[in-house]
């Protein structure tokens, strides 16, 4: 059994220790905001925050997140930084089909939690493992820079 804190709610999870966090979130916690992509941590669709650090959930075993704080896209609007990132994406219309966007939102939220003034290169590096098949990359980068600008202004005051 593992205990995880998922979007500010504690769950006692009966599952094998090697169960994928992705599967636990979707089946045991009924959180369908976590998307499945490649299953090996290369596409970024399943990204969540584990103790405020972006991490692929498809290749994260349950045992490694016992007693961890897990945040998913479902709770993004309740996080001050996540809300800024989400609003920037809406403002820039940065999603086309939207399948990859949940993971990208989580990756950028994690980045800005650790560094609200991330450079263009740091933003690009953070998004390197995220696959957007629709080609919305330029809007995604614009939204990320917009969020950074808003967060930088907020921390400067």
CATH number of the domain where residue 10 is located: 3.10.20.30
Same domain, 63 and 93: no
Cα–Cα dist 84/90, whole Å: 10
Domain ends where: 74, 94, 123? 74
Q: The pTM is what?
A: 0.93
DSSP 4-19: EEETTEEEEE-S-TTS
> Residue 132: which CATH number?
1.10.150.120
Coil, strand or helix at 20? strand
Q: Which pLDDT belongs to residue 1? A: 84
- Residue 154: predicted pLDDT: 79
Domain identity same for 99 and 146? yes
Q: Which domain holds residue 108?
A: 76-156
CA distance 82 to 98: 17
Final residue before a domain boundary, out of 74, 91, 111: 74
| Among candidate residues 88, 128, 124, 125, the one with its CA nearest the CA of residue 105 | 88
Domain final residue, candidates 27, 57, 74 = 74
Structure tokens at 24: 């636990």
Q: What are the strands, taking DSSP E only, across 1-157?
A: 2-6, 9-13, 47-50, 53-56, 69-71
> Is the domain of 54 the same as that of 92?
no
Please list the pLDDT of the chain residue by residue as tens digits (157 residues): 899 999 999 999 999 989 999 999 999 999 999 999 999 988 999 999 999 999 999 999 999 999 999 999 999 999 999 999 999 999 999 988 888 899 999 999 999 999 999 999 999 999 998 888 887 889 999 999 999 999 988 776 6
């Amino acid at each position: 059994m593992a205990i995880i804190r998922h979007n500010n709610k504690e769950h006692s999870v009966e599952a094998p220790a090697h169960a994928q966090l992705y599967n636990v979130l979707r089946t045991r916690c009924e959180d369908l905001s976590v998307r499945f992509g490649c299953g090996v941590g290369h596409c970024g669709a399943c990204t969540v925050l584990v103790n405020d650090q972006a991490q692929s959930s498809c290749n994260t075993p349950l045992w490694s997140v016992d007693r961890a704080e897990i945040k998913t896209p479902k709770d993004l609007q309740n996080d001050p930084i996540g809300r800024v990132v989400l609003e920037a994406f809406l403002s820039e219309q940065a999603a086309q089909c939207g399948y990859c966007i949940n993971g990208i939102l989580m990756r950028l939220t994690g980045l800005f939690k650790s560094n609200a003034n991330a450079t263009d290169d740091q933003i690009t590096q953070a998004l390197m493992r995220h696959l957007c098949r629709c080609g919305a990359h330029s809007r995604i980068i614009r939204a990320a820079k917009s969020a950074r600008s808003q967060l930088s202004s907020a921390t400067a005051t």
